[in-house]
C-alpha cells in the first residue's frame, strides 16, 4: 500500500501567537512557597524607577517649555539636552531634549535588565522568581506580538546610544574650560562621572557582548577571532554587573540634570577651583 507524503509545513507564521506557557510557579497571583521577602526588591526598584522616570520626563519635556527653566549654565549642559539641537522653526512648546531623548529612552526601555525589572514591578509578570502571576497574563504572549515584540529593536538602540554618549563626553571635557581658563568644579566632576557611568552601562550591554563574541565557532582559530575573544572577555566582566550599571547610571543622569537645573536657577552655586 502506498504511503502518503507527510503534510506540508506552513510557510508563514501563525497569525495568533502561541499561548504563554504556564510556567512552574505556584498558581494564583502572589502564590509562592518562598519564605524570603521576594517583594522587597521589586517594590524598591519600582519606586526608584518611577521617581526617576517621572522627573526625567518632566525635566526633559515639560520644564523648559512651560516655565522657561534653563538647561544650560556656566558651561554645564544638562545631559538630557545633549547634543543640543535647536531648530528655530520648532514651536516654543517643543523641548529640544525630545529630539535626542528618544534614543536613551528606547535603549533603556528595551534593555534586557530593565525588561526583567519593569515586567516584575509594573506588570507582575511574574512578580518574582517562583511567584504566581495574575491569570490574565495567560491571554497574551508578551514579546511574541505587538507592542512588546518591539523589544527586539534593542540592538539598534544600542548603536544609536553611542551618539549621545559621544557628546556627553565632549560636554564633560569642555566643562573644564570656562571663559578661556581651566576649572575643576563639582559640576565638571558630576558630568564626567555621568559620562563614565553611562559608558559602563552601554559597554556592559548584553547585545554588545553578543555582537562582539557571538556567532563564532572557534575563538582561537585566527588573529581576528582571538582579538574578539579578548574583547568579549572584557565586556563579559562588565556585563556581570549590568544591573548595577543600569541603576547607578540612571541615578547619576537624574542627579546631573537636577544639579544643572538648580545651578541655572541660582538655588545653588558650583564649588570650583579656577586656574
**Binding interface with ligand FES (CB under 6 A):** 111-113, 154, 158, 205-207, 242
Q: Which is nearer to ligand FES, 138 or 234 (CB)?
A: 234
Beta strands in 74-215 (DSSP E): 76-77, 177-178, 181-185
Cell 500500500 locates to: 1
CB of 212 to ligand FES, least distance (A): 13
Cell 531648530 locates to: 87
Q: Which is nearer to ligand FES, 183 or 242 (CB)?
A: 242
CB of 25 to ligand FES, least distance (A): 24
User: For residues 208 and 177, what is the distance between their CA atoms, to the nearest angstrom?
Assistant: 33
Q: Which is nearer to ligand FES, 41 or 272 (CB)?
A: 41
State yes or no: cis peptide before 102, omega within 30 of 0: no
CB of 106 to ligand FES, least distance (A): 11
Q: Which is nearer to ligand FES, 131 or 158 (CB)?
A: 158
CB of 158 to ligand FES, least distance (A): 6
Residue 171 cell numbers, joined: 560636554
DSSP H or E stretch at residue 181: strand 181-185
User: For residues 249 and 165, what is the distance between their CA atoms, to the nearest angstrom?
Assistant: 12
Q: Which residues, listed in sequence order, are joined to residue 183 by a DSSP beta bridge?
A: 274
Q: Which is nearer to ligand FES, 71 or 157 (CB)?
A: 157
CB of 211 to ligand FES, least distance (A): 10
User: For residues 245 and 198, what is the distance between their CA atoms, to the nearest angstrom?
Assistant: 8
Amino acid at each position: 500500500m502506498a504511503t502518503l507524503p507527510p503534510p506540508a509545513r506552513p510557510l508563514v507564521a501563525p497569525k495568533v501567537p502561541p499561548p504563554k506557557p504556564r510556567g512552574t510557579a505556584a498558581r494564583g497571583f502572589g502564590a509562592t512557597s518562598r519564605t524570603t521577602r521576594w517583594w522587597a526588591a521589586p517594590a524598591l526598584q519600582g519606586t526608584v524607577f518611577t521617581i526617576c522616570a517621572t522627573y526625567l520626563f518632566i525635566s526633559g519635556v515639560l520644564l523648559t517649555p512651560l516655565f522657561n527653566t534653563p538647561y544650560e549654565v556656566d558651561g554645564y549642559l544638562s545631559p538630557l539636552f545633549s547634543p543640543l539641537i535647536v531648530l528655530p522653526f520648532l514651536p516654543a512648546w517643543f523641548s529640544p531634549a525630545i529630539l535626542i531623548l528618544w534614543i536613551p529612552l528606547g535603549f533603556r526601555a528595551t534593555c534586557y535588565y530593565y525588561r526583567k525589572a519593569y515586567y516584575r514591578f509594573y506588570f507582575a509578570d511574574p512578580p518574582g522568581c517562583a511567584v504566581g502571576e495574575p491569570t490574565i497574563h495567560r491571554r497574551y504572549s508578551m514579546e511574541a506580538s505587538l507592542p512588546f515584540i518591539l523589544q527586539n529593536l534593542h540592538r539598534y538602540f544600542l548603536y544609536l546610544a553611542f551618539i549621545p554618549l559621544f557628546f556627553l563626553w565632549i560636554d564633560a571635557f569642555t566643562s573644564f574650560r570656562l571663559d578661556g581658563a581651566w576649572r575643576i568644579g563639582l559640576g565638571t566632576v558630576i558630568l564626567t562621572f555621568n559620562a563614565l557611568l553611562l559608558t559602563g552601562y552601554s559597554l556592559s550591554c548584553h547585545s554588545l557582548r553578543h555582537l562582539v563574541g557571538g556567532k563564532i565557532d572557534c575563538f582561537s582559530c585566527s588573529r581576528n577571532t582571538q582579538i574578539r575573544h579578548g574583547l568579549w572577555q572584557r565586556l563579559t566582566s562588565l556585563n556581570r554587573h549590568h544591573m548595577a550599571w543600569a541603576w547607578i547610571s540612571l541615578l547619576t543622569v537624574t542627579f546631573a540634570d537636577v544639579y544643572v537645573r538648580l545651578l541655572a536657577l541660582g538655588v545653588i552655586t558650583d564649588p570650583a577651583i579656577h586656574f
